[in-house]
Structure 1
Amino acid sequence: MSAAGGVPPFIVFPAIDLKGGQVVRLAEGDMDRATVYGDDPAHQARLFAEQGSDFLHVVDLDGSFAGRAVNGAAIASIVAAFPGHVQLGGGIRDAQAVQGWFEVGVSRVVIGTAALKNPQFVKDMAAAYPGGIVVAVDARDGMIATDGWAEKSDMPVVDLARRFEDAGVASLLFTDVGRDGLLKGVNIEATVDLARAVDIPVIASGGVAGISDIRILSLHAGDGIEGVVTGRALYDGRLDLRTAIEVACAV
């Protein structure tokens, strides 16, 4: 999923977040503040493909809290229905889980909590699956949030990111938890600062409000921002996916 081979230098990842088998969006990562957008995840994946997406970001929200896959059947149906690349996160904390998802057909897996608690595991997986591991850098007030964003650590974002600079991870997924699902706009300054501070490509996430966020972030592709994950703005009709992809491809 590098810029070679027809992949745009800036990627728009439409998001499918799963809770109880349904497509939902949370506000600030709060499971009690979920808005349901559908009960057929595979259908949603096909819709995104029809709108021109070659990339998809999927999160097993229940898995993030359980520490293991909970929405496995829904995820498998998404992978089967979506002809492009699927990036998956949520409760992936051991080698068996990583291997299992690659066998299902996922292109990249996102590791979050385990990156803080067991960095050697991430390094081992990055070595075993070159280009297949993304580290989730989830922030609350500049500090790493863990366990489905329910806990805040005392680890600064940049410090965690730098742990993996020579590990071969594909990207860092940076989410400002305080903006996620609220349509407040991406924390562009913090995202750009992180991208400039490390040698790993950064994917922005959290708070996309409309096309202006896509346009501004895409202008920073040269700073190391690989793409952006967007969810609620798409589901609420504030952002047109085809237009967002056109902006990304124009970089």
Structure 2
Amino acid sequence: MRKVAPMILYPAIDLKDGQAVRLVHGDMNQTTVFNDDPAAQARAFVDAGCTWLHLVDLNGAFAGTPVNAAPVEAILKACPVPAQLGGGIRDMATIEAWLDKGLARVILGTVAVENPDLVRQAARAFPGQVAVGLDARGGRVATRGWAEETDVMVTDLARSFEDAGIAAIIYTDILRDGAMKGPNIAATADLARAVSIPVIASGGVSSLADLTALRDTGVIAGAISGRALYDGALDLAQALRMLAEPRSRA
């Protein structure tokens, strides 16, 4: 048996109009505000023991440019753990600006479909600091804050980046996101097996059982959870303790 790295749990802070919120199915009209002070929320996650933070600029995803820069910068200043950010990051200047401000990793979503050469250029320029966000309905990639669906299949797009040097793929099943119905474990594991790039599961991760099932696939590198942590359905400290136990694989 050989040891494999523990799966990383990324607490999610979705930012809309300067607040920490959660959406249902990516619908900006189905918003629940959980904290008026995103930096305080981030510190609470860090105090519980998290080793990464997952941030999303929801307004930015629709606008195509950063909108919630102030709360992101406040989080970066308040928290010693690395953070990754997606939403509205669609050019090299924005990528470089965020990394200069202390962000550990940028997540490129829409441009992965519309300008894949930018992803490759960024991954070469900033090794280990560029991830691709693949958000899908029915296996097809959606872009621009999930508002536009494409005919691009998730696995095909992921495979196209095999030689790009990206740090991770964040795979979100949109129909599971914020719905507390569990992640799409089969689709996420299938994607992870199809590529050598580490895959992080997102959308519907709402219980210890979900995390255990994702971990036990043996191929999923991380999981993102938001609403379940805010609602109390998932205890962050307990989840982190469980995931810290090393996995074994033949």
Same-fold call, TM cutoff 0.5: yes
- CA deviation digits over 1:53-103, x for unaligned, max 9? 110000000000000000000000001111101011001000000000001
Normalised by the size of structure 1, how large is the TM-score? 0.95
Normalised by the size of structure 2, how large is the TM-score? 0.96
Q: Give the whole-Å Cα distance in 2 for the aligned partners of 1:249 and 1:215.
A: 12
Match of 2:65 in 1: 68
| 2:225 maps to 1:238 | no
Question: Deviation at 1:247?
Answer: 1.6
Match of 1:114 in 2: 111
Match of 2:192 in 1: 195
Q: Give the whole-Å Cα distance in 1 for the aligned partners of 2:107 and 2:182.
A: 23
Count of matched residue pairs? 243
* 1:95 partner letter: M
Which of 15, 18, 22 in structure 1 is aligned with 2:19? 22
Match of 2:124 in 1: 127
Match of 1:33 in 2: 30
Q: Give the whole-Å Cα distance in 1 for the aligned partners of 2:198 and 2:46.
A: 24
Where do 5+ consecutive residues of structure 2 fail to align?
Answer: none
Question: Deviation at 1:8?
Answer: 5.1
Q: Give the whole-Å Cα distance in 2 for the aligned partners of 1:243 and 1:186.
A: 19
Aligned-residue RMSD, C-alpha = 1.0
Match of 1:57 in 2: 54
- In 2, are the aligned partners of 1:143 and 1:157 still within 8 Å (CA)? yes
| 2:224 maps to 1:229 | yes
Question: Deviation at 1:216?
Answer: 1.1
**Pairing 1:85-234 to 2, within 5 Å after superposition:** 85-220=82-217, 222-223=218-219, 225-234=220-229
Question: Deviation at 1:9?
Answer: 2.9
Q: Give the whole-Å Cα distance in 2 for the aligned partners of 1:247 and 1:151.
A: 37
- In 2, are the aligned partners of 1:8 and 1:248 still within 8 Å (CA)? no
Secondary structure in structure 2 of the residue aligned to 1:178: helix
- In 2, are the aligned partners of 1:214 and 1:247 still within 8 Å (CA)? no
- CA deviation digits over 1:127-159, x for unaligned, max 9? 000011110010111100000001110001101
**Pairing 1:5-16 to 2, within 5 Å after superposition:** 9-16=6-13
Q: Give the whole-Å Cα distance in 1 for the aligned partners of 2:143 and 2:42.
A: 27
Percent sequence identity is: 53
* 1:155 partner letter: V
* 1:19 partner letter: K
